[in-house]
Amino acid sequence: MWRGAAPDEPPQRVPALVGPGRAAVVHAQDAAVADRPMWWQRTDVAAVVPGTARTAQVLDLPLVEDLAAGEVSGAGETVDVPPEALALLPGAPTTWVEHEDLTVDGAPVDWWVEGDGPGAVVHAVHVAGLAAGLAQAAGRWGARYAVEAVLADPSRAAEALLDDVADG
């Protein structure tokens, strides 16, 4: 039950991401739900509530992807994903697009994913963004830090694979 609201009424205020590394409680009319992590970067569209389509329904909020086109711009170079990273993410794309500057709908972002699974196109400006994009595309968001460690130091691949198996 939401404090100050009847159980069948959505809240008037919600916690949301309002900038890089910043969260605040905002008026619900200023928020939208992001059901994929890449949208968490787009606080220019709305204050972002991480969640699912069901979250949006319960809170009576739009999905952020319904408020913005999500169109990538900026030249980039297609690069192969190192096999050590792919070992951690079965079903991830085997290539990615490296950007010096990356924008989505004119807003700067560190990474973005077009599509899902092996056919997705991952765009990134740095290793952490590449790890996040690959993890989202593969449906393994929780693996992003291990993937980042392997991308930064491929000699850690065996250690990361063992940790992945142990986490089951």
User: 113-139 pLDDT, tens per residue?
Assistant: 999 889 999 999 999 999 999 999 999
Neighbouring CB atoms inside 10 A of 15's CB total 14
* pLDDT (mean) for 99-116: 97
Task: Please report, for the chain, the start and end positions of each structural domain, with discontinuous segments joined by +.
Answer: 13-66, 72-167
SS3 call for 58: helix
CB atoms within 10 A of CB 152: 11
Question: DSSP assignment, residue 82?
Answer: P
For 41-89, write each residue's pLDDT tens digit.
Answer: 999 999 999 999 999 999 999 999 999 999 999 889 999 999 999 999 9
Give the pLDDT of residue 1. 43
Task: Indicate the residue type of 149.
Answer: A
Angle at 41 between CA 35 and CA 45, to 5 degrees: 80
- N residues, the chain: 168
For 58-97, letters b (16+ CB in 10 Å) and e give ebebebbbeebebebebebeeeebeebbbbbbeebbeebb
Helix, strand and coil percent figures for the chain, each rounded to 5: 40, 25, 35
> How much is the pLDDT for 113?
98
pLDDT for 98:
98
Q: Which residues, in sequence order, are CB contacts of 20 under 8 Å at separation 6+?
A: 41, 43
Q: Which residues have a Cβ under 8 Å from the Cβ of 103 and sit 6 or more positions away? A: 72, 73, 74, 109
With cut-offs at 50, 70 and 90, classify the pLDDT of residue 103: very high
Report yes or no on whether pTM surpasses 0.75: yes
Percent above pLDDT 70 for the chain: 91
6-48 pLDDT tens trace: 567 899 999 999 999 999 999 999 999 999 999 999 999 999 9
